[in-house]
């Protein structure tokens, strides 16, 4: 009735538990005789034996479980990342505990405890702030840790990021090629490395491309959501009504920008072109189709998971501190030539 343990299998075969343990462990240092292994495995199968990973973990300090911290699973940016992570973890016998911070640092702190109490072998952090003492501390104490999308500043926690610089430059160049001269930027929250980095990239790229930026037409959002995108877009347009192109730090801000523009009676792309970042799902089906910078979400998850496993199981060789994934400009209907004849 109740779950059989090693002891039950041992009794069944008439050997000691340690023999059973060894027979079932493919990398046992002193495996039993082949014939014995067969008998033991047969009995284990027959009894429906399943190892108790809690007990094993208590002994070995390895739970084959990793924690994944994201801001919010209902944000469609994250599920593909999670599938990427799972795709490398699961075949190796690892399971993931996924937690949502909702962007609240105090919640994040508690969740870090939750994960650590469960003895996770490592954490993939997809929601880290630029400064996060607790995460820094845990990494220092030896907890294997990898950040994804964002990075923790002044730390040597390996991170997997997207090529923000290239992406922003592509988007800006695209707007320029369409003839746009007056361009604004709805920047991401500066507490995230992505917000800061993309803002810096915007400034660098506009200098490089010779585009004049009105400082007031660069507005940082306080969250990565549509409401903030709309609010900031209003400010951008107010700062410089001649603007015909708005580059947003991510897709949700851009979706908000679209709303704000139509609210003002402006048409996209006829009056104002808009670009996003990430290429979250469904964008192609939402008119007018957001032009955006596609990041490799599944790959990013895979890469982060591989890095984490390397840290956990590797032979101590240092892993690359930063892996930058390539991005790609996806052109859709939200960007168009300046002064295009509209319907």
Partner DNA sequence: ATGAAAGCGCTAACAA
Partner DNA sequence: TTGTTAGCGCTTTCAT
Return residues touching DNA (CB under 7 A): 3, 5-7, 14-19, 21-22, 24-25, 29-33, 36, 49, 51-52, 55-56, 58-60
Which listed option, a copy of itself, DNA, none, makes contact with residue 21 (CB within 5 to 8 Å by class)? DNA
- Among left, alpha and beta (phi > 0; psi -120 to 50; other), residue 72 is beta
Minimum Å gap between C-beta 135 and a copy of itself is 15
Q: For residues 118 and 208, which CB has a smaller minimum distance to a copy of itself in the complex? A: 118
Smallest distance, a copy of itself to C-beta of residue 117, A: 5
Closest CA to 332 of 279, 295, 293, 290: 290
What 3-state DSSP class applies to 331? coil
Closer to a copy of itself by CB, 168 or 280: give it. Answer: 280
Residue 281 and residue 243 in contact, taking contact as beta carbons nearer than 8 Å: no
DSSP state of 75: S
Cβ of residue 75: shortest distance to a copy of itself, in angstroms?
8
- Residue 4 or 337: the one with the smaller Cβ distance to DNA is 4
The pair phi, psi for residue 260, each rounded to 5°, is: -60, -40
Shortest spacing between CB 291 and a copy of itself, in angstroms: 16
| Residue 24 contact among a copy of itself, DNA, none, beta carbon within 5 to 8 Å by kind | DNA
What's the chain's length in residues?
343
Nearer to DNA, 122 or 229 (CB): 122
Q: Which is nearer to DNA, 28 or 331 (CB)?
A: 28
Residue 18, binding choice from DNA, a copy of itself, none, Cβ under 5 to 8 Å by partner class: DNA
Give whichever of 115 and 146 is closer to a copy of itself, judged by the CB atom. Answer: 115
Are the C-beta atoms of residues 255 and 228 closer than 8 Å to each other? no
Q: In the complex, what is the shortest distance from the CB of residue 71 to a copy of itself, in angstroms, rounded to a whole number? A: 12
Q: At 164, which helix (H) or strand (E)?
A: helix 164-177
Which partner, a copy of itself, DNA, none, binds residue 63 by CB below 5 to 8 Å per kind?
a copy of itself
Q: Which does 73 bind (CB under 5 to 8 A by kind): DNA, a copy of itself, none?
A: a copy of itself
Contact 221, 315 (CB under 8 A): no
Nearest distance from C-beta of residue 143 to DNA, angstroms: 15
- Which residue, 17 or 266, has its beta carbon nearer to DNA? 17
- Which residue, 148 or 205, is less far from a copy of itself as judged by CB? 148
CB of 289 to a copy of itself, least distance (A): 11
Closest-CA residue to 65 (of 123, 142, 143, 120): 120
Residue 30 interacting partner from a copy of itself, DNA, none (CB closer than 5 to 8 Å by kind): DNA
Q: Give the DSSP H or E segment for 281.
A: none
Residues forming contacts to a copy of itself in the complex (CB under 8 A) are 1, 3, 50-55, 57-58, 63, 65, 72-74, 76, 79-80, 82-83, 86, 90, 93, 95-100, 113-119, 141, 281-282, 285-287
CA dist list (Å): 286 to 143, 152, 206, 281, 310: 42, 34, 29, 10, 40
d(CA 77, CA 187): 18
Between CA 292 and CA 195, with CA 80 as vertex, the angle to 5 degrees is 45
CA–CA separation, 71 and 105 (whole Å): 10
Q: In this structure, what are the phi and psi dihedrals at residue 29, rounded to the nearest 5 degrees?
A: -75, -30
Residue 214 beta carbon to a copy of itself: minimum distance, rounded to whole angstroms: 31
**Distance of alpha carbon 187 from the chain centroid:** 19
């Amino acid at each position: 009735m109740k779950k059989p343990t090693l002891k039950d299998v041992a009794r069944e075969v008439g050997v000691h538990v340690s023999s059973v343990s060894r027979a079932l462990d493919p990398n046992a240092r002193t495996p039993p005789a082949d014939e014995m292994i067969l008998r033991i495995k047969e009995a284990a199968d027959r009894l429906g034996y399943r190892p108790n990973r809690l007990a094993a973990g208590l002994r070995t300090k390895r739970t084959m479980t990793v924690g994944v911290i994201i801001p919010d699973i209902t944000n469609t940016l994250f599920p593909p990342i999670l599938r990427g992570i799972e795709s490398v973890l699961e075949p190796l016998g690892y399971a993931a505990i996924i937690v949502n911070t909702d962007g609240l640092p105090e919640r994040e702190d508690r969740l870090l405890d939750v994960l650590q109490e469960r003895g996770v072998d490592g954490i993939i952090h997809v929601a880290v702030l630029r400064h996060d003492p607790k995460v820094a501390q845990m990494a220092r104490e030896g907890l294997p840790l990898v950040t994804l999308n964002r990075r923790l500043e002044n730390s040597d926690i390996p991170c997997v990021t997207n090529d923000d610089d290239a992406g922003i430059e592509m988007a800006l160049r695209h707007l320029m090629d369409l003839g746009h001269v007056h361009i604004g930027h709805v920047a991401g929250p500066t507490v995230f490395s992505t917000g800061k980095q993309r803002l810096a990239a915007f400034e660098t790229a506009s200098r490089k491309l010779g585009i004049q930026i009105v400082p007031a037409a660069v507005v940082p959002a306080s969250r990565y959501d549509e409401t903030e995108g709309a609010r900031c877009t209003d400010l951008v347009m107010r700062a410089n009504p001649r603007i015909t192109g708005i580059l947003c730090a991510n897709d949700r801000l851009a979706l908000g920008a679209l709303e704000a523009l139509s609210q003002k009676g402006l048409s996209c792309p006829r009056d104002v072109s808009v670009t996003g970042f990430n290429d979250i799902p469904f964008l192609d089906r939402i008119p007018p189709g957001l032009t955006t910078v596609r990041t490799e979400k599944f790959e990013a998850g895979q890469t982060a998971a591989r890095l984490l496993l390397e840290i956990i199981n590797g032979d101590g060789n240092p892993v690359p501190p930063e892996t930058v994934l390539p991005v790609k400009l996806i052109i859709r209907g939200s960007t168009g030539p300046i002064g295009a004849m509209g319907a």
